[in-house]
């Protein structure tokens, strides 16, 4: 695997995952780790996390010539810029992004601004994955990259609720030992299935006009303004001047999910941020503040999203458990 270089200010730290599955990078306020784990032949899982209010850079050397490789990942928090040498820049913000790139003989650079922390989860597919997954059933673009016939793939897209939930579960694996390996393998393959499904999406869907984009963003701001008592879909659509169907479609195109799922994820993200920030509110009160009538519904939704119940997340200090 290619060499990695972590840097912040004038401090740099090189690492090669062939010599160790995880790396810790610490410099001043920066506290970050990144871990590489084999899943199946030709498939590797990456999990990472960094403390809030830190800025750093990660650079990765390009792969060997004639060797196919594609990265499919989720950035759950942070903002920054991803650059694939010769292919320009792609930025992201805290609301999360799905990304893909083919770093074959091309250097990759990630400029990371972790004001609210940094949580990436990614899968790397190598040429051997063609046999593992059955190359004939893979999307044409992925197959071309793994066969080393393309090396210029780089893109970002909204991070949908399913990708976000699976990525969180891979960060917060609720098992240890053999069960942990089995759980991680199963969820990694489930994540890969949904990632590959994005390549088969409906490209004939009508795009949004500039006016519709503004209205969808206004609807998002309206949702986030009152998580405890937001408007229902029909009322929200009427407020911004779109039909409910068009508003839902706009949310899918801009944010990768429906209005309902976006609201659910926003509530759970707010709960996670409150627990990480040391909120003293009892869980029942926190659930009510975020629009849950029953604390049991809140606990169930939080566990499904983050892999642990909110009480355990609070007790653990809100950081991803590294196992």
Domain made up of 4-200: CATH architecture:
Sandwich (2.60)
Residue 204: per-residue pLDDT: 41
Integer Cα distance of 288 and 262 in angstroms: 18
* CATH 1.10.10.60 placement within the chain: 265-323
Q: Could you tell me the two tokens for 165?
A: 């939930």
Residue 318: per-residue pLDDT: 61
Any alpha helices (H) in the chain, and if so which ranges? 129-133, 140-146, 161-171, 177-197, 210-225, 233-240, 244-255, 259-276, 283-289, 295-306, 310-315
Residue 218: per-residue pLDDT: 95
* Positions of the chain with pLDDT lower than 70, given as ranges: 1-2, 94, 200-206, 317-323
Residues contacting 96, CB < 8 A, separation 6+: 74, 75, 76, 77, 158, 159, 164
Classify residue 148 by its DSSP letter. Answer: T
CATH number, domain 203-256: 1.10.10
Residue 153: per-residue pLDDT: 86
* CATH 2.60.120.10 placement within the chain: 4-200
Residue 41: per-residue pLDDT: 95
Superfamily in which the 265-323 domain is placed by CATH: Homeodomain-like (1.10.10.60)
Walk across the sheet containing 43-50 and list its strands. Answer: 22-27, 30-40, 43-50, 120-126, 69-75, 97-101, 154-158
Integer Cα distance of 5 and 60 in angstroms: 6
243-254 tens-digit pLDDT? 988 898 888 888
If you compute the radius of gyration of the chain from its CA atoms, what whole number of angstroms results?
20
165-190 tens-digit pLDDT? 899 999 988 888 889 999 999 999 99
Residue 78: per-residue pLDDT: 87
Residue 112: per-residue pLDDT: 93
Alpha-carbon distances, residue 255 vs 51, 127, 201, 261, 305 (angstroms): 25, 31, 15, 10, 17
Q: What is the mean pLDDT of the chain?
A: 87
Closest by CA position to 69, among listed 129, 10, 156, 121: 129
């Amino acid at each position: 695997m290619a060499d990695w270089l972590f840097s912040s200010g004038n401090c740099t730290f090189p690492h090669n995952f062939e010599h160790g599955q995880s790396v810790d990078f610490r410099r001043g306020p920066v506290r970050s780790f990144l871990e590489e784990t084999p899943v199946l032949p030709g498939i590797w899982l990456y999990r990472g996390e960094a403390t809030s209010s830190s800025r750093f850079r990660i650079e990765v050397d390009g792969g060997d010539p004639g060797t196919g490789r594609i990265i499919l990942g989720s950035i759950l928090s942070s903002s920054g810029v991803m650059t694939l040498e010769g292919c320009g820049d792609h930025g992201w913000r805290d609301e999360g992004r799905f990304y893909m790139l083919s770093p074959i003989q091309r250097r990759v650079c990630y400029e990371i601004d972790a004001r609210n922390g940094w949580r990436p989860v990614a899968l790397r597919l190598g040429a051997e994955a063609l046999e593992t997954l059955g190359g004939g059933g893979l999307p044409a673009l992925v197959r071309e990259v793994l066969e080393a016939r393309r090396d210029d793939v780089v893109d970002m897209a909204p991070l949908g609720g399913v990708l976000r939930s699976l990525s969180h579960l891979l960060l917060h694996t609720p098992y240890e030992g053999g069960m942990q390996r089995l759980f991680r393998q199963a969820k990694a393959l489930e994540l890969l299935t949904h990632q590959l499904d994005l390549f088969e999406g409906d490209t004939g869907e009508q795009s949004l006009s500039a006016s519709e984009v503004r209205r969808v963003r206004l609807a998002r701001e309206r949702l986030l303004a009152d998580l405890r008592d937001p408007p229902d879909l029909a009322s929200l659509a009427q407020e911004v001047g779109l039909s409910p169907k068009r508003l839902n479609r706009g949310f899918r195109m801009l944010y990768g999910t429906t209005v309902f799922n976006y609201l659910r994820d926003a509530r759970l993200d707010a709960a996670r941020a409150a627990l990480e920030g040391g909120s003293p509110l009892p869980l029942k009160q926190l659930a009510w503040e975020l629009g849950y009538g029953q604390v049991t519904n809140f606990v169930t939704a939080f566990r499904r999203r983050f892999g642990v119940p909110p009480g355990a997340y609070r007790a653990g200090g809100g950081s991803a458990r590294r196992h």
